[in-house]
Structure 1
Amino acid sequence: MYKLNLNISEFLTSHWQKKPLVIKNAFTNFDDPISADELAGLACEEEISSRVIVTQDKGWNIIQGPIEDYSEFGENNWQLLVQAVNHWYQDTIPLIEAFRFIPDWRFDDLMVSFATPGGGVGPHIDNYDVFLLQGEGSRRWKVGAKGEYAPRGGDMNTALIDDFDPIIDVVLESGDMLYIPPGYPHCAKTLTTALSYSIGFRAPSQQELLTGIADHLLDTNTGLKRFTSSSEPTSAATLPVKQQQEMLSLLSELLHQPEHYQAVLGQILSQNRFELDISEPEAPYSLDELKSALAEGAEIHRIGGLKVISLENDINSRLFINGEIVNFKSCDMTQLSQIANSLTMTNREAAALCQSDELAHFILEQLNRGYYYLA
């Protein structure tokens, strides 16, 4: 169990998406949920996103995973980064739960790094919120003010920038944490061999939302209402401001209809960027086997990284699971919200939900898809 030493209300009011914050002793007596050897083992896997960054005299060299041999990197000036560790290593999930005061739809992944002295990432700017938690060892972090920064080497395809003047210059040790909102430049240098944890939170862009709306309209063959004008221009080659605004109003009308935007938001925000560690049973469970397992005290656990989202005031009775819509006929939103909020269904909770035939079949389906598993 990881207990975060943070005044959450004050943090959300004063710092969340506003300004960086150093949180010394964020976790008392912090215990790393994964070892360096276990992290290196994950980096060997083809389906897991990993990379090694080597610090050089004039920049950084990136070697994409899978990584099986580290001997060429030496003992200094490199770090290993593994994405979505919470998908593949169950012992990290309790750490993630400490950050569920931020909604699940924002959560991106837990990235874990192992770094040797001198290893680090150059000055860069992220477009997401991140909590940088120090495990074993120590790292020096610098954070700059928001502003306009030139991309390093003029490369517009990189997050790296030229150097900056720090407004924060701090050494993090085990249990210390740094929060950085989007847009603040930062960089790190490892002082002693270290494990670090990056808990990232993303929000959709205008491009992603509009693309989602367009895909939904095409898939459902909706949004077919055409523009009609209230008057015509005197010049044949002119599109008057009034007609421009009326066309945008037609689009705005569409975006305010729950039957369109709710499905899009649910699907976009429940979709995961990284591959999931699906836990399909060797043979599909039957309903009798599920009920027998519950009678024997089994719990039902959600696999790491799976997003299950419900929408407040949804016009339909449904859940959004990994970008898909699951509709229900007779379940109320209290039950669906309980499912969405529970990373683990206790035996009592699961047995109570399975009193409903519809929910029993839903749970059975999720178990057989490998999105949940019996424990």
Structure 2
Amino acid sequence: MIEVHATAKHMLGMPPTEFLRDYWQKKPLLIRNAFPGFESPLQPEDLAGLACEDGVLARIVAHDPKKDSWMLRHGPFPEDMFPSMPHHDWTLLVQDVDKWDADVGALLERFDFLPRWRIDDVMVSFAAPGGSVGAHVDQYDVFLLQAQGRRRWQIDDRPNPPVHFRLDVELKLLQRFEPTHDWVLEPGDMLYLPPGVPHHGVAEDACLTFSVGMRAPAAAELLGDFVDTLASEADESLRFADPELEPAKDAFEIDAAAMERVVEGLNKLRMNDPERLGEWFGRFITTYRTALRPGGREPGDGRSRIEIEWDLQQGAYLQRDPWTRMAWQRAGRGARLYVSGESHALPLADARHIANAECLDGGDYAKLSITGRDLVQDLLQRGHYALEFPEDAAR
């Protein structure tokens, strides 16, 4: 099946284990009514306002159907621009809306059958009637949730579809696109696409679409970062050596013995050490693609640790910054907690609890070991948490 209906029990129309077994990175799936009665937590004017802010990753894609020409423009945009935009054939796309809007970020809880560190962001797009970004292909998994209005999606799910790109546009658009499926999605419908599936979405009327995209680093990116890490941490005394060198038969030949010594030299960097590989990957995968951190309340509001712990006992809580990525990994009898590219040794229970909690209240904090509390206090002072108070509590 390529089209299913969600049920009250299963958002995907099936248990997550079945979806992961049969569809994940294998074939597309349209889920009708995945979010029944869905009401968008964001309005088009909210998205336009966000696209005008400094530091927000926003784009506008416009299409001239008569000339088949495309225009790409990057934000931030002037506030007076949107009222003058045409009534058709353009799209506004804003990345990382889950970081800027807590209600949008809350949607990610519905995707907890996936590792959170695999989820990149929620991109939100507004399209005027006829608006599109053209036929294209992504190299990562994506869930396309229709939030408002209707959008027509066409896909080509044939094996080895043509993926040659046009050379006359700035966007990576397909030269040829031959759809095998054609659907109109209503609010609450969701389309899952694995990597490499050509697709084309066109707004039937003014609409909002939420794109939950996965993080899928290219092999070259993984290799480059890992090698850079090994090189930066390498001991200068680790060098190519040939203490048992024999007289050369040909002074200009790189012989087999020399290549064996090259391999020995590289192995000194412990490239195949699972522990070191895991340490690097934990730091790598929790590092966000930009260093952007939104402003806000000063970390801890200048309170001392004693005051903060008293506040937590009285109902305050620590809210994790939405730009802070966390993951954890077992390490011997304990664990490593990775926080935005940093690595911290913790008891396993602490690492698991801190990583899984978007906010820590007094009870959560009390369950942590001294080491765990020390780390949380340090993360608070460095902006990874904000001290929040219930609305009805006296400051």
For normalisation by structure 1, the TM-score amounts to 0.89
Deviation, 1:158, is 4.5
1:11 aligns to what? 19
Q: Distance in 2 between matches of 1:252 and 1:202?
A: 30
Tell me which amino acid in the other structure corresponds to 1:261. Answer: L
1:291 aligns with 2:309: yes
1:129 aligns with 2:146: no
Whether the aligned pair in 2 keeps the contact of 1:79 and 1:115 (CA below 8 Å) is: yes
Deviation, 1:79, is 1.3
1:339 aligns to what? 354
Deviation, 1:216, is 1.7
1:298-349 Cα offsets, whole Å, 9 max, x none, are 2222122421111233697532111122x34xx4112111111222224421
Q: Distance in 2 between matches of 1:347 and 1:97?
A: 22
Instruction: Note closer, same or farther for the CA distance 1:127–1:251 as it changes in structure 2 (3 Å cut).
Output: farther
Map of 1:321-336 to 2, 5 A cutoff? 321-325=339-343, 327-328=344-345, 331-336=346-351
SS of equivalent to 1:135: strand
1:119 aligns to what? 131
Deviation, 1:162, is 1.3
**Counterpart selection for 1:318 from 307, 314, 336:** 336
**Counterpart selection for 1:178 from 177, 191, 197:** 191
1:65 aligns with 2:91: no
Deviation, 1:259, is 5.0
Instruction: Note closer, same or farther for the CA distance 1:111–1:249 as it changes in structure 2 (3 Å cut).
Output: farther
Deviation, 1:84, is 0.4
Deviation, 1:49, is 0.6
Instruction: Note closer, same or farther for the CA distance 1:23–1:276 as it changes in structure 2 (3 Å cut).
Output: farther
Map of 1:263-302 to 2, 5 A cutoff? 263-274=279-290, 275-277=292-294, 279-281=296-298, 283-302=301-320
2:212 aligns to what? 199
Instruction: Note closer, same or farther for the CA distance 1:167–1:340 as it changes in structure 2 (3 Å cut).
Output: same
1:147-189 Cα offsets, whole Å, 9 max, x none, are 342111277x743111311122111110111111111111110
Q: How many residues align?
A: 368
Whether the aligned pair in 2 keeps the contact of 1:18 and 1:181 (CA below 8 Å) is: yes
SS of equivalent to 1:312: strand
Deviation, 1:236, is 4.5
Unaligned runs of 5+ in 1: none
For normalisation by structure 2, the TM-score amounts to 0.84
Instruction: Note closer, same or farther for the CA distance 1:37–1:367 as it changes in structure 2 (3 Å cut).
Output: same
Q: Distance in 1 between matches of 2:386 and 2:58?
A: 26
SS of equivalent to 1:187: strand
Q: Which has the higher contact order (CA 8 A, sep 6+)?
A: 1
Deviation, 1:194, is 0.6
Q: Distance in 1 between matches of 2:76 and 2:37?
A: 32
Instruction: Note closer, same or farther for the CA distance 1:36–1:3 as it changes in structure 2 (3 Å cut).
Output: farther
Map of 1:47-86 to 2, 5 A cutoff? 47-57=55-65, 58-67=68-77, 68=79, 69-86=81-98
Map of 1:132-143 to 2, 5 A cutoff? 132-143=144-155
Tell me which amino acid in the other structure corresponds to 1:5. Answer: M
Instruction: Note closer, same or farther for the CA distance 1:278–1:102 as it changes in structure 2 (3 Å cut).
Output: farther
Instruction: Note closer, same or farther for the CA distance 1:110–1:246 as it changes in structure 2 (3 Å cut).
Output: farther
Percent of paired sites with the same residue:
35
Q: Distance in 2 between matches of 1:205 and 1:215?
A: 15
Whether the aligned pair in 2 keeps the contact of 1:122 and 1:160 (CA below 8 Å) is: yes
Based on CA coordinates, which of the two structures has the bigger radius of gyration?
2
Tell me which amino acid in the other structure corresponds to 2:47. Answer: L
Whether the aligned pair in 2 keeps the contact of 1:280 and 1:367 (CA below 8 Å) is: no
Tell me which amino acid in the other structure corresponds to 1:151. Answer: F
1:88 aligns to what? 100
Whether the aligned pair in 1 keeps the contact of 2:328 and 2:335 (CA below 8 Å) is: no
Deviation, 1:73, is 2.1
Map of 1:209-220 to 2, 5 A cutoff? 209-220=222-233
Map of 1:96-175 to 2, 5 A cutoff? 96-144=108-156, 145=158, 146-153=160-167, 158-175=171-188
Deviation, 1:128, is 1.1
Q: Distance in 2 between matches of 1:303 and 1:113?
A: 24
Whether the aligned pair in 2 keeps the contact of 1:136 and 1:174 (CA below 8 Å) is: yes
SS of equivalent to 1:294: helix
Q: Distance in 1 between matches of 2:216 and 2:262?
A: 28
Q: Distance in 2 between matches of 1:24 and 1:252?
A: 52
Question: Higher mean Cα deviation, 209-218 or 24-33?
Answer: 209-218
Whether the aligned pair in 2 keeps the contact of 1:129 and 1:201 (CA below 8 Å) is: yes
Tell me which amino acid in the other structure corresponds to 1:86. Answer: D
Aligned residues: CA RMSD: 2.7
Instruction: Note closer, same or farther for the CA distance 1:315–1:351 as it changes in structure 2 (3 Å cut).
Output: closer
Map of 1:235-274 to 2, 5 A cutoff? 235-240=250-255, 244=259, 247-248=262-263, 251=266, 254-274=270-290
Tell me which amino acid in the other structure corresponds to 1:131. Answer: F
